[in-house]
Amino acid sequence: MNAAEINVLEEIELENPIFIEALPGLGHVGKLAADHMIDELEATKFAEIYSPTFPPQVLIKEEGIIENMSNELYYLKDVGENNLDLIILVGNTQALSPEGQYLICRDILEFVKGYGIDRIYTLGGMAIPQPVENPKVYGAATDEANIELLREAEIEIRSNDGGIVGASGLFLGLAVRQGIQGTCLMGETPGYFIDAESAEAILKKLSLLLNFEINVDKLDERAEETRQMIAKAQQMEQDLINRANAGNADDLRYIG
């Protein structure tokens, strides 16, 4: 079964690109960081991804315009002093079920492998009890060489401390089985609000690891946009749950 319907918008050629995953998660730290990176560095969208593993809904935007649940792939060429090519995965959702997560991550990984990726960075949040003024960034990796790079960047190594749930962990697990090295960066966050400070901390460490510069002044604006989008998605999901709990699961009518 193919979980992903991938609509290619532009045929591109890249040189050993680095794949960066940043889908919605705890505090939406990774998503916020990657969305800001896309805007600031003027990345170009080249593919859209749709899947039956995504929530059965659409988002309603300004003036009643709907937005599908989807993931998107962007590319950048010749980034930073090392002239790196990047592929960035963002979106407004992850798969709903554990099986769906495996299926969609597998299909996306197979697709981006076609561009010759040789490294992966996944971005996300790490839960802490309450907000802190200067969030730390923690890291984990597929191999000792990348752990050493994390140490050189003064990133805390997350050790013997649970797992990495969702796409940020699964992409690394699937990749290492195919000989692709990877690293996860996790910003401290309470997780119950859109955490611009943690996203900024992650971006600064990622830019250090990949040797590029990025202005983070507009992260707070991006955080507010993300808050609005997530609030709409959460309300729709709660409406579905409430209807199911009320015994009306067969009466999920669409407005239109």
DSSP for 169-180, written as a single string: HHHHHHHHTTT-
Task: Identify whether the C-beta of residue 151 lies closer than 8 Å to the C-beta of residue 209.
Answer: no
Q: Which residues contact 33 (CB under 8 A, 6 or more apart)?
A: 22, 123, 187, 199, 200, 202, 203, 206
Q: 195: Cβ–Cβ under 8 A, 6 or more apart, which residues?
A: 27, 28, 29, 32, 125, 131, 135, 187, 189, 223
| Residue 106 to residue 98: CA distance in whole angstroms | 12
* pLDDT value of residue 252: 44
Rounded CA separation 190/198 (Å): 10
The answer to whether residues 4 and 167 touch, using CB atoms and an 8 Å cutoff, is no
| Length of the chain in terms of residues written | 256
Structure tokens at 48: 């859209």
Are 203 and 29 in contact, with CB atoms under 8 Å apart? no
The DSSP result for 173-205, as a single string, is HHHHTTT-EEEEEEEEE-SSS--HHHHHHHHHH
Instruction: State the Cα–Cα distance between residues 158 and 253, nearest whole angstrom.
Output: 45
- Please give the domain boundaries of the chain with CATH numbers for all domains: 5-245 (3.40.50.10900)
pLDDT in tens, the chain (256 residues): 578 999 999 999 999 999 999 999 998 899 999 999 999 999 999 999 999 999 999 998 888 999 999 999 999 999 999 999 999 999 999 999 999 999 999 999 999 999 999 899 999 999 999 888 889 999 999 999 999 999 999 999 998 878 899 999 999 999 999 999 999 999 999 888 888 889 999 999 999 999 999 998 888 776 666 666 667 666 777 787 787 787 655 544 333 3
Question: b vs e for 53-88, b when ≥16 Cβ sit within 10 Å of the residue's Cβ?
Answer: bbbebbbeeeeeeeeebbbbbbbbeebeeeebbbbb
Query: CA–CA separation, 77 vs 12, rounded Å?
Result: 10
Q: Which two tokens stand for residue 164?
A: 């990495």
Q: What is the pLDDT of residue 161?
A: 76
SS (H, E, C) 50-93: ECCCCCCCEEECHHHCEEECCEEEEEEEEECCCCEEEEEEEECC
Helix, strand, coil shares of the chain, percent, nearest 5, are 40, 25, 40
Please give the pLDDT value at position 186: 97
Q: What angle do CA 22, 25, 28 make, to 5 degrees?
A: 80
Supply the pLDDT for residue 219: 80
**Alpha carbon distance 172, 120 (integer Å):** 7
Residue 253: per-residue pLDDT: 39
Answer whether 186's CB lies under 8 Å from 198's CB: no
Please give the radius of gyration of the chain, using alpha carbons only, rounded to the nearest integer.
18
